[in-house]
Chains A and B, each alone.
Chain A
Amino acid sequence: MRRSTSGRAAVLRTPLGISTLVLLVAVVGVAVVAPLVLGSRAETIDVAAMDQGMSAQHLFGTDPLGRDLLARTLVATRLSVVLAVITTVVAAVVGVLAGALPFVLGRRLGRLLVATINLSVAFPSLLLALFLAMIFGVGAQGAVLTLALAMAPGFARLTHSTAAAVAGSDYIAAARLLRVGRARIVLRHILPNIAEPLVVNATTTVGTALLSLSGLSYLGFGVQAPDYDWGRLLSDGLGSIYTTPAAGLLPCAAIVVAGLTFILAGEVATQVVSGRSRRRGTARRVVTAPVAPVAEDTGPAGDVVLRVEDLTVTFPDRGTRPVRGVSFEVRAGEVVGVVGESGSGKSLTAAAVGALVPHPGVVEATRLDLAGRDVRRLGRAERDRVLGTSLATVFQDPMSALNPAVRVGLQLAEVSRVHQGLSRRAAAARAVDRLAAVDIPSPERRAREYPGTFSGGMRQRAMIGMSLMAEPSLIIADEPTTALDVTVQQGVLALLRDVVRQRNAALLFISHDIAVVSRIASRVLVMYAGQIIEELPVSALVDDAAHPYTRALVASIPDMGMDRRLPLATIDGRPPEPDRLPVGCSFAPRCPLADVGCAEQAPPLVAIGENRRVACWKPPSDVGGPRSTAGEGGRG
């Protein structure tokens, strides 16, 4: 339960904490000192100085009896604050008792009490207080009592709900088993646990009580002459707002300042209790790890759907660069898998292609061509059209990726409405057609339903159907099967495969699971620490991978066939933190083959055959055929 004291103190050092503390000291100070120092000045009747305006002697003028307005306002602080505190204390005591009582009383009586509390919480406390004044009469005492009773339900509900949570816990159950008396449970176990939220709530309540008491006094229900609090001063001064406006405005200002002070104090108390202070983000140096030079790109360029060159994604606020110089291309009809652990940059690479990198990430690339057009050079409208029609994305969690408040059919149809200019009817018909295409039974009915009635697998099918609305040339599927159970996974994978085959679209399939990728992709990109470290055809994956990391990934999957040439079954260690990248090969700390050279200089990604690239100083010499670039020469 205890949090570090430094965390609590830190809250008080924030601008909010400091100003609240200053205000609180000022208000309490005035409440203590003003009646002692200014008491006589505030109450001396001076007929010669009636209703004066501002003067050197009376800074804000005088009231109809010649008493100094500023002095009266300051002196009234004590009564106003003291009454508010008493009200809060009474309300808290009554409320806590009422809230704890249901645990002591029998079930039936307890329930009745809870229902009463819940009903009375709905009524604004000022209204309740006004009606209770019928019984308790007017005057300071009556006002405090009525307001306290009116505010008690709030405390009662807080007590009851907090206590209900505590009462459900194991140690209360244990105490019950030991036949500890109910009253004792409340006193010993429940009350200490709800002390913190109660104190926080009480602090705020002092503020609201002060505001409400001022209101009651203003209406004539509270403090009566010759005593005065701010509400009383306001009601006396309001009549002369034309002649001496300060008579009404000074108490108003005092009410606002004092009310704000206690409510801010409640806010600060909340932060202290939750131990959360808004720490300023310390600006860290942007890590500029050396980006490995990209080898000459030699792929056939006829029907390239996506071409990415030297893509980086930087988060200047955190000083990290989770994607560092990634280059690849995807051709029509092809399924390219991207494999990597979480944090390898694979999802951010996909987000960068779709211009969906979260704020404040910065995307840079020498080329980012989609369907033959550099999306970064297009105007906003044209870019949206190209991205909206040529690219579609299927996200990981189908339970959250569909909008629960919009009909499934409309979520599909809007793509065609916006980007293809279809009429509402045509777009709706197309949505039904696409739902049918992804094997959703009774698609007309399903289109009219909300996603809440769909199962997980059906939602992912609907997402895939959505991706087909505009005949995209590239579909990015970001962990599309991870959130689904195994049997549903198979169906979704088969569907994605069919879609690519039938529509000649390209698929960029992103997953942490190399086994899933190997089932659908024809070519695999392996990413590690923000870079592609190997590219290879899926046929070479099992026994011809060149990079130690790829081999380790394959070896760690039991059903993919072990590669026994290397003694690797698991990968020890963890990938480097994005703000603490090693200077040399980023895999070096975990690599069994690493030597001093690996740790000093990062290996470039070089081509080692048709559609094959690897970034490693020591790939086995028998992979991929003849080395096309001088890998060894790069090291100094």
Chain B
Amino acid sequence: MTAGPAPRGDRIRSGLRGPWPVFLGRQLGRFAASMVVLATAAFGMVHAIPGDPVRNALGLNAQPAVVAATRRTLGLDDPLWTQYARFLRGLVTWDMGDSLISHVPVAQVMTRLIPATVGLAAAAFVLAVVVAIPLGLLAGIATRDGRSRGTHVAFTSVTGVFSVVPDFVLGVGLVFVFSVTFKVLPVAGQSGPESYVLPVIALAAGPAALLARVVRVEAQRVLAEDYLRTARSKRLPARLVYLRHALPNLLTAALTISGLALSSLLAGTVLVESVFAWPGVGNQLVRSVLSKDFPVVEAMAVFFGGSVLLINLAVDVLIAVVDPRSVIKET
């Protein structure tokens, strides 16, 4: 492990002369294009709402005058392309109008809610990765070449169940055990660090189980490779065999799955925040969609979608750093 970070950095530097600018340019271009598509979809979503979105939101017995006034302030009577341009400009300048319900600026709502959600998702992601990669690697080592059938069955059963149990159900179970029965952790809300424990576990368990399974399978594959036999023939200590020779070769797969896990974890925040009454974007999203508060929903669609795109971009770039061959392949 000691020599790990140094060569990576080196690799990027030496690579900058090569295919890296093209690769990065293409990745960023793809990201920007996807963002535009995403913003357009969010905009289109509001305009695809059957009937009048304002009447929809304010209710059937809203005063026609109020509806008309709201339509005017939102600029819904302008030509479509003017509205579209205004929407895009609003996203860039972080000025997305006011909520229909609370009349608070959408930007202010988002600024208040995003840190809580990102904190939750980041903590859960770190926990999932920190647990899953060593666990999967150890399980892979223990079950290599068909060794230890018992460990294999136990590992696949436990991780299998955890990867299926949905996060909100696990959250309810955790609340029942730790908050209701043993009363050691808070039921809901964001307060001190202890309030993070249950929602983070509920969010992390599924992705961690999935990631651990993939890492184990990859570890088994890598451990059977010829170059691992070479490493063993050199009589290196186990630490070097596994960390220097095996681990880097399963990182690509682990990274890909981590990216997927992070995306699904972000979606999971919606449900988990709802179970734990967490003051985040997910919880608000549910309320805003139910009350048809479309300026807020639009912004949230861009936030969630943009996060997913950003994660995918980060994974692609990280994979290229770990395995420079993919850069050459792409360009």
Task: Tell me whether B186 is interfacial, beta carbon within 8 Å.
Answer: no
Q: A263-B164, A452-B325 are in contact. Are A359 and B146 (CB under 8 A)?
A: yes
* Segment at the interface with A among B21-29, B87-95, B131-139, B225-233: B225-233
- The smallest C-beta distance from B44 to any residue of chain A, in angstroms, reads 10
List B residues 138-171 near A (Cβ within 8 Å). Answer: 144-147, 161, 164-166, 168-169
- On chain B, the residues within 8 Å of A245 by CB distance are 176, 180
A418's partner among B236, B289, B312, B323 (CB-CB below 8 A) is B236
Most chain A CB within 10 A, of B42, B180, B226, B323, is at B226
Minimum CB distance partner of B322 in chain A: A405
CB-based contact A134/B309 at 8 Å:
no
CB-based contact A211/B226 at 8 Å:
no
CB-based contact B227/A384 at 8 Å:
no
CA distance A401 to B228 in the complex (A): 8
Task: Tell me whether A404 is interfacial, beta carbon within 8 Å.
Answer: yes
Task: Tell me whether A207 is interfacial, beta carbon within 8 Å.
Answer: yes
- On chain B, the residues within 8 Å of A395 by CB distance are 226, 229-230, 233
* Segment at the interface with B among A124-132, A541-549, A584-592: A124-132
CB-based contact B173/A252 at 8 Å:
yes
A401's partner among B161, B226, B309 (CB-CB below 8 A) is B226
Minimum CB distance partner of B324 in chain A: A450
- On chain B, the residues within 8 Å of A135 by CB distance are 45, 48-50
Tally A-B pairs: CB < 8 A: 165
Task: Tell me whether B301 is interfacial, beta carbon within 8 Å.
Answer: yes
- The smallest C-beta distance from B249 to any residue of chain A, in angstroms, reads 5
CA distance A220 to B270 in the complex (A): 12
CB-based contact A404/B249 at 8 Å:
yes
* Segment at the interface with A among B75-83, B109-117, B259-267: B259-267
Most chain A CB within 10 A, of B49, B164, B301, is at B164
A403's partner among B166, B169, B245 (CB-CB below 8 A) is B245
Task: Tell me whether A66 is interfacial, beta carbon within 8 Å.
Answer: no
Q: A122-B312, A134-B45, A242-B180 are in contact. Are A260 and B305 (CB under 8 A)?
A: no
CB-based contact B230/A127 at 8 Å:
no
- On chain A, the residues within 8 Å of B301 by CB distance are 131
Contact residues of A: prevailing secondary structure: helix
- The smallest C-beta distance from A429 to any residue of chain B, in angstroms, reads 16
Q: A410-B3, A419-B235 are in contact. Are A403 and B230 (CB under 8 A)?
A: yes
- On chain B, the residues within 8 Å of A401 by CB distance are 226-227, 229-230
CB-based contact A256/B169 at 8 Å:
yes
CB-based contact B267/A256 at 8 Å:
no
CA distance A411 to B225 in the complex (A): 15
* Segment at the interface with B among A178-186, A385-393, A553-561: A385-393
* Segment at the interface with A among B58-66, B190-198, B213-221, B290-298: B290-298
CA distance A402 to B323 in the complex (A): 16
CA distance A324 to B254 in the complex (A): 43
Task: Tell me whether A255 is interfacial, beta carbon within 8 Å.
Answer: yes
CB-based contact B34/A119 at 8 Å:
yes
CB-based contact A256/B172 at 8 Å:
no
Q: A124-B264, A403-B227 are in contact. Are A221 and B172 (CB under 8 A)?
A: no
CB-based contact B233/A127 at 8 Å:
no
Task: Tell me whether A433 is interfacial, beta carbon within 8 Å.
Answer: no
Task: Tell me whether B244 is interfacial, beta carbon within 8 Å.
Answer: yes
- The smallest C-beta distance from A78 to any residue of chain B, in angstroms, reads 20
List B residues 262-316 near A (Cβ within 8 Å). Answer: 263-264, 266-267, 270-271, 274-275, 285-286, 289-290, 292, 294, 297, 301, 304-305, 308-309, 312
Task: Tell me whether B240 is interfacial, beta carbon within 8 Å.
Answer: yes
Q: A248-B176, A400-B227, A405-B249 are in contact. Are A138 and B308 (CB under 8 A)?
A: no
- The smallest C-beta distance from B153 to any residue of chain A, in angstroms, reads 10
- The smallest C-beta distance from A509 to any residue of chain B, in angstroms, reads 16
CB-based contact A402/B230 at 8 Å:
yes
Most chain A CB within 10 A, of B165, B172, B309, B312, is at B172
- On chain B, the residues within 8 Å of A263 by CB distance are 164
The 0/1 profile, CB within 8 Å of B marked 1, for residues 403-427 of chain A is 1111100110011001100000000
CA distance A463 to B227 in the complex (A): 11
Task: Tell me whether A54 is interfacial, beta carbon within 8 Å.
Answer: no
Q: A131-B297, A134-B45, A249-B176 are in contact. Are A400 and B226 (CB under 8 A)?
A: yes
Most chain A CB within 10 A, of B48, B168, B292, is at B168
CB-based contact A260/B161 at 8 Å:
yes
CB-based contact B227/A404 at 8 Å:
yes
CB-based contact A207/B164 at 8 Å:
yes
- On chain A, the residues within 8 Å of B271 by CB distance are 126, 215, 218-219
CA distance A402 to B176 in the complex (A): 53
Task: Tell me whether B7 is interfacial, beta carbon within 8 Å.
Answer: yes
CB-based contact B173/A249 at 8 Å:
yes
Minimum CB distance partner of A132 in chain B: B45
CB-based contact A133/B249 at 8 Å:
no
CA distance A356 to B323 in the complex (A): 29
Task: Tell me whether A532 is interfacial, beta carbon within 8 Å.
Answer: no
CA distance A133 to B172 in the complex (A): 25
- The smallest C-beta distance from A360 to any residue of chain B, in angstroms, reads 8
CA distance A249 to B181 in the complex (A): 13
Task: Tell me whether B5 is interfacial, beta carbon within 8 Å.
Answer: no
- The smallest C-beta distance from B12 to any residue of chain A, in angstroms, reads 14
Task: Tell me whether A106 is interfacial, beta carbon within 8 Å.
Answer: no
- The smallest C-beta distance from A458 to any residue of chain B, in angstroms, reads 16
Task: Tell me whether A214 is interfacial, beta carbon within 8 Å.
Answer: yes
- On chain A, the residues within 8 Å of B128 by CB distance are none
CA distance A119 to B37 in the complex (A): 9
- On chain B, the residues within 8 Å of A122 by CB distance are 263, 308-309, 312
CB-based contact B46/A134 at 8 Å:
yes
- On chain A, the residues within 8 Å of B147 by CB distance are 359-360
CA distance A416 to B175 in the complex (A): 55
CA distance A214 to B275 in the complex (A): 13
Task: Tell me whether B234 is interfacial, beta carbon within 8 Å.
Answer: yes
Minimum CB distance partner of A246 in chain B: B176
Task: Tell me whether A354 is interfacial, beta carbon within 8 Å.
Answer: yes
- The smallest C-beta distance from B293 to any residue of chain A, in angstroms, reads 10
CA distance A400 to B294 in the complex (A): 57
CB-based contact A406/B176 at 8 Å:
no
CB-based contact B235/A214 at 8 Å:
no
List A residues 200-249 near B (Cβ within 8 Å). Answer: 207, 211, 214-215, 218-221, 234, 238, 241-242, 245, 248-249
CB-based contact B244/A406 at 8 Å:
yes
Q: A238-B172, A249-B173 are in contact. Are A126 and B235 (CB under 8 A)?
A: no
Minimum CB distance partner of B46 in chain A: A134
Q: A134-B46, A134-B49, A256-B165 are in contact. Are A418 and B237 (CB under 8 A)?
A: yes
Instruction: Give me 9 other A-B pairs in contact (C-beta within 8 A), A219-B270, A234-B172 excluded.
Output: A127-B266, A131-B301, A135-B49, A238-B172, A248-B172, A249-B172, A388-B234, A452-B325, A463-B230
Give 21 pairs: A residue, B residue, CB < 8 Å, sorted on A: A122-B312, A126-B271, A127-B270, A127-B305, A133-B289, A134-B45, A135-B48, A135-B50, A138-B290, A219-B271, A219-B274, A238-B275, A241-B176, A360-B145, A400-B226, A401-B230, A403-B245, A405-B323, A406-B245, A407-B7, A418-B236
Residues of A within 8 A of B (CB): 119, 122-124, 126-127, 130-135, 138, 207, 211, 214-215, 218-221, 234, 238, 241-242, 245, 248-249, 252, 255-256, 259-260, 263, 354, 356, 358-360, 384-385, 387-388, 392-393, 395, 397, 400-407, 410-411, 414-415, 418-419, 452, 463, 466
9 tightest A-B contacts by CB? A388-B235, A124-B267, A405-B248, A400-B226, A403-B227, A384-B235, A359-B145, A127-B267, A393-B233
